[in-house]
Amino acid sequence: MARLALILGESGAGKSTSIRSLNPKETFIINSLGKDLPFKGSGNLYTYFNKESNPDGNMVKTTSAGVVMQWLKFINEKMPHITNVVIDDNTHQSSMEYIRRIKESTWDKWNDIAANMIAIVEYSISLRPDLTVFILHHVTTEGDGIIEDKKIKAMTLGKLVDQKLSSYESFFTVVLLAKKAKSQDGKVEHYFLTQDADSTAKSPDGMFDTEQIPNDLQLVKDTIAKYYN
């Protein structure tokens, strides 16, 4: 059984930046939009896989949930050197499926989008135990802050996941919220929240020493492994 962590955050909060601490020789990125990674040297560290011209590549681009599943299977069975898988940004898998099927008037597309979101998580859990899968995902805010408390949570299309399956976060033990703030010297700092009353961020009791940690996926991986081993 693989380890999973859901990394939530708005655009620019540092979700993709947190990849920089992982060893690229042990990491494979499933990139939904094909955008450049936001850290120096990433173009040399992560290159697109091509069976003929670049068989050592460690990144692919796809917005198809089915293709994501195929790659997870391939990594699990054919890439023993890979111990980290990053799905970045998972939200776009659902968004692009909706766009491709926008003219459909039936409920089928909503059922399929919800089923695909959960299928990726459930299949990821079934992968070999030396793998850690990081799913990076956008957020939305519920509540107006007046009548209802505001709550930051994972963005989902439609209401099927939240209404029928409690929430997307319920499938994860570790949910971290990526945030950013200005330091005293005026620089923007990125960090993760491991527990938070105003969002769905959560982690097991005692896993992390503090509620705020650096946005460092290697640190997250090592901490999870130490906690359970």
Q: What SS3 state is found at 111?
A: helix
Partnered with residue 190 across adjacent β-strands are 180
Residue 110's pLDDT is 79
Q: What is the largest CA-CA distance in the chain?
A: 58
The residue among 116 and 70 whose pLDDT is bigger is 70
Determine contact, residues 94/157, Cβ cutoff 8 Å: yes
Residue 165 has pLDDT above 70, yes or no: no
Q: Please give the single-letter amino acid code of residue 82.
A: I
- Share above pLDDT 90 across residues of the chain, in percent, rounded to a whole number: 62
Residue listed under structure tokens 């008037």: 105
The residue among 52 and 34 whose pLDDT is bigger is 52
The residue among 154 and 208 whose pLDDT is bigger is 208
> Domain count of the chain?
1
Residue 2's pLDDT is 96
Tokens representing residue 218 in the block: 């290697």
Least confident span in 40-54, 91-105, 145-159, 181-195 = 145-159
Residue 147 has pLDDT above 80, yes or no: no
Determine contact, residues 208/194, Cβ cutoff 8 Å: yes
Read off the pLDDT of each residue in 64-87 and give the average, rounded to a whole number: 96
Residue 15 has pLDDT above 80, yes or no: yes
Domain carrying residue 182: 3-228
Read off the pLDDT of each residue in 179-196 and give the average, rounded to a whole number: 89
Read off the pLDDT of each residue in 155-160 and give the average, rounded to a whole number: 73
- Share above pLDDT 70 across residues of the chain, in percent, rounded to a whole number: 93
What CATH number is associated with residue 220? 3.40.50
CB atoms within 10 A of CB 171: 21
Cα separation of 85 and 81, whole Å? Answer: 11
